[in-house]
Amino acid sequence: MRIGLYPGTFDPITLGHIDIIRRATVLVDRLVVGVAVNSDKAPLFSLDDRVEMIKSECRNLVSTVKVEIIVYPFETLLIDCARKVGASVIVRGLRAVADFEYEFQMVGMNRALDDTVETVFLMAETRHQAIASKLVKEIANLGGDVSKFVTPRVNSRLISRLS
């Protein structure tokens, strides 16, 4: 069984994330969405909230993609998480060249730690390339409409959290 790991903080999950999840399911038999605890970032949503939102959004996908999608919170090195869930591939989404520079460094470090785990990059669909959770939160915090960037459920959660 080919297991992939798509890691991120997903604070909140966006349409860009959902697009990468959907497209990654054609590459693997099981996709683990790894929800990272990152103390360097100050998340708007708790880990439990982020896990719940991702599970909710992935429920719709499972019936159409026919691949098992598991949501898995982790607070370890990414490569340790990959080993724990049995992933042979890490899936990363790219929006722009700036993303690639950071991701390139991460791949090198991960390969040095475990060269049996490959990393695959998926380019975000053109309509999703500008979407970043950080920007979505900023726009929502300033009263802007983020309904083009997140699902209606996530939009409601953002509005409720920021009210």
Q: Is 133 a catalytic residue?
A: yes
Q: Is 41 a catalytic residue?
A: yes
> Listing from the earlier edge strand, what are the strands of the sheet with 68-74?
68-74, 30-36, 3-8, 89-94, 118-123
Catalytic residue among 92, 128, 133, 157: 133
Burial class (CB in 10 A: 0-12, 13-18, 19+), 97: exposed
Q: What is the DSSP letter of 125?
A: P
Set 41, 59, 127, 134: catalytic member: 41
**26 burial type by CB count under 10 A (0-12 exposed, 13-18 middle, 19+ buried):** exposed
Catalytic residue selected from 17, 22, 50, 128: 17
Distance between CA atoms of residues 6 and 25, nearest Å: 10
Bridge partners, residue 6, by sequence: 33
Would residue 95 show up in a list of annotated catalytic residues for this protein? Answer: yes
Active site residue: 30, 55, 83, 95, which one? 95
Catalytic sites, residue numbers = 17, 41, 95, 133
